[in-house]
Chain A
Amino acid sequence: MKELRLMKGNEAVAEAAIRAGCDGYFGYPITPQSEVMEYLMYQEPHKTTGMVVLQAESEVAAINMVYGGASCGKRVMTSSSSPGISLKQEGISYIAGAELPCLIVNVVRGGPGLGTIQPAQSDYFQSTKGGGHGDYRLLVLAPASVQEMADFAGLGFELAFKYRNPVLILSDGVIGQMMEKVELQPHQPRFTKEEIKANTPWATYGKTDDRGRNIITSLDLDSHKQEKHVTHLAEKYQAMEENEVRYEEFQTEDAEYLIVAYGSSARISQKAVDIARAKGIKVGLLRPITLFPFPKKPLAKLATQVKGILSVEMSLGQMVEDVKLAVECKIKVEHFGRYGGIIPTPDEVVAALEQKIIGG
């Protein structure tokens, strides 16, 4: 049966996490995402599903609690906003190195530094290129609606366990704070002890006579072994690029121009496409849903069809580099963005398209 609710994005991801069988949430207050933890606390999931919700003493503590929980084969998560996500980078690098699954939600605000509490998309580089130290990638999901905030909780856990890799939901202050209709998924039970034993043999569930010791580590002092380990990681990232690319196209069939935008920028750009079409400009939109892996192939294909691409982001221009790489600079690619917490209007996007791509 369909369960419809009107929710904030922050509440939706929290509710969906409970329903996805999440075992533990560890967080720390920061605007504009404090509602994730607050919602979870009010739901008292320890009484229903047994999920634990803990307010840590810092974001660093929270991500390391996730590191601990993940090592037990449990579905664990944390959420924060940009400055807090920066603090988590050390833990994320270790979790990626130790090949543990977990879900991280970033409700992005403008930076650098303390920046602002208003929405931005300036954490694209940090999210898709590593963020912490070492050769690793996160699987990055970019929701453009409250519905996707909910959907990506379950999907995030699924992918995290499939690849034994941290999954990041890269949201922003718009998606986190706005309210929309959400269709919630039915409850999925938490993993049982037997399931953990059967499905996650790497987990630290105790040494019994029938199994060896598991040591969770991201260290190998033997460089040859470490190189082998990183090569294995690379193979996982390659598999993600082959199997997990997700994107959405909007009015691209006859498009002469293309806008590429994710998250809240995609929502704004969708309106911009309508405005431009009304003016007779044949423009379409490609919305990457996974930022890593990036939809390179569909972009390369569209590059043979359109005359130019405008990458719209609430940043100085970060994703635009991946767009250029994807089309191998065969056609014109420009960036348009507002930043520092300013949200562009659809009219500004159309004006940028006309100036930078059509007229330029």
Chain B
Amino acid sequence: MENYTVERSKVELTKEDFVSDQMVKWCPGCGDHAILSSVANVFPKIGYRKENFCLVSGIGCSSRFPYYVNTYGFHSIHGRAAAVSSGVKIANPHLSVWMATGDGDSLAIGGNHFIHIIRRNIDINIMLFNNQIYGLTKGQYSPTTPMGSFTKTSPQGTIEHPFNPGELILGAQGTFFARGVDTNPKMMTEIMFEAARHDGTSVVEILQNCVIFADKTHAQITSKDLRDDHQLHLKNGEPMLFGKEKNKGIRMRNSRLEAVEIGKDGITEDDILVHDQYQQDPGLHLMLAKMAPPHLPIALGVIRSAMYPTYDDLVEEQIKYAKENSKIKNMDDLLNSGDTWVIE
């Protein structure tokens, strides 16, 4: 049987190998720069040959990504990156396919393709840049813009209920979901590495700041004075502790998650939930994905990483089964397989 794993590099690659010669056309201070740097850091660690990476994007600020990474790339169609990526991976399973997309690209116009790539569990790594705004078209609200936000197309505040991407991804039977912030490149690098290792569709949501059209949209999570109390860094097998002194934690009470302080009201570390990212049941993962300040911290890190057969593997299995069990073994068999008769 053919081996479909991605070919590994024979030489050790460095960050510099993945930096392209293109001028990066993002605004100074844009969170995208940090994401680009994390990708350049993580790609050599993954260990594949440079030529075996393929970066696919849709349209938007995020989607300029393929120009800036020194791999093969594909700047495709608005909203269609998931479909294009699917085509790339199915046609050439030898590639490590990465998709750069945004909240407008994948959750508005591309919502359809986005949920179906996840449902199929095709082995692709999706980086979802969530800046809660349309940046490239200069500031219209997106499907993740918080309700009531003032934007170019909502001068009186949006009246639409935003998506929580994690909820959507897990609802579409996502097998891998992680969340990072552009202000923490170290964590971004770690979760991207885990995303690369995951078999199946992995989605990494990156809370990213657009300095021009939605500046400080994630300030509740990233600002220095709030971040310790508003960020929960998940680590598999470890208790869900947060706060500057790590004296706060998440417990389950009456089927709901709540934030508690250790030592207060008799609460001990034993009351705190322990993270199991490999749990097949998505129930708790969904609750974690939905947590948000001010009452609960936002969950960062790998929230879910469940093992399910991938679409690519199942396709291969079907082909293998057909090869082993079909009566047709050669061209003659094929020609004589259907409605054929002998003219006498």
Contact = CB atoms under 8 A, between A and B. Distances in A.
A306 interface: no
A70 B152 CA distance: 26
Interface stretch (B73-81, B178-186, B228-236, B252-260): B73-81
B108 interface: yes
A83 B77 CA distance: 9
A58 B153 contact: no
Nearest to A59: B109
A114 B77 contact: yes
Given A58-B79, A83-B78, A114-B75, A31 B137 contact: yes
Contact of A41 (B59, B138, B155): B155
Nearest to B134: A29
Interface in A44-98: 44, 55, 57-60, 83
B155 A34 contact: no
A17 to B, nearest CB: 16
Nearest to A28: B109
- Scoring A28, A34, A38, A57 by chain B CB atoms within 10 A of each residue's CB, the highest score goes to A57
B156 interface: yes
Given A29-B140, A44-B155, A57-B143, 8 more contacts: A34-B138, A37-B140, A37-B153, A41-B153, A55-B141, A57-B108, A58-B79, A58-B108
Nearest to A30: B137
Contacts of B77: 83, 113-114
B156 A114 contact: no
Nearest to B156: A44
A60 B109 CA distance: 8
A29 B153 contact: yes
Contacts of A44: 155-156
Contacts of B79: 58
Contacts of A60: 109
Interface in B125-163: 134, 136-138, 140-141, 143, 152-156
B243 interface: no
Contact of A55 (B59, B75, B140, B156): B140
A113 to B, nearest CB: 8
29 contacts: A28-B108, A28-B109, A29-B134, A29-B153, A31-B136, A34-B138, A34-B140, A34-B152, A37-B153, A38-B153, A41-B154, A41-B155, A44-B155, A44-B156, A55-B140, A55-B153, A55-B154, A57-B108, A57-B109, A57-B111, A57-B143, A58-B79, A58-B108, A59-B109, A60-B109, A83-B78, A114-B59, A114-B75, A114-B77
Contacts of B141: 55
Contacts of A38: 140, 152-153
Interface of A: 28-31, 34, 37-38, 41-42, 44, 55, 57-60, 83, 113-114
A38 B213 CA distance: 14
Interface in B91-141: 108-109, 111, 134, 136-138, 140-141
Nearest to B104: A29
Nearest to B63: A114
Contacts of B143: 57
Contacts of B156: 44
A57 B112 CA distance: 11
Interface in B301-333: none
Contacts of B152: 34, 38, 41
Interface string B202-234: 000000000000000000000000000000000
A354 B95 CA distance: 55
Nearest to A113: B77
Interface in B41-98: 59, 75, 77-79
Contacts of A34: 137-138, 140, 152
B165 to A, nearest CB: 15
Nearest to A37: B153
A42 B155 contact: yes
A299 B80 CA distance: 44
A59 B59 CA distance: 14
A234 B134 CA distance: 42
A42 B152 CA distance: 8
B155 to A, nearest CB: 5
A44 B155 CA distance: 9
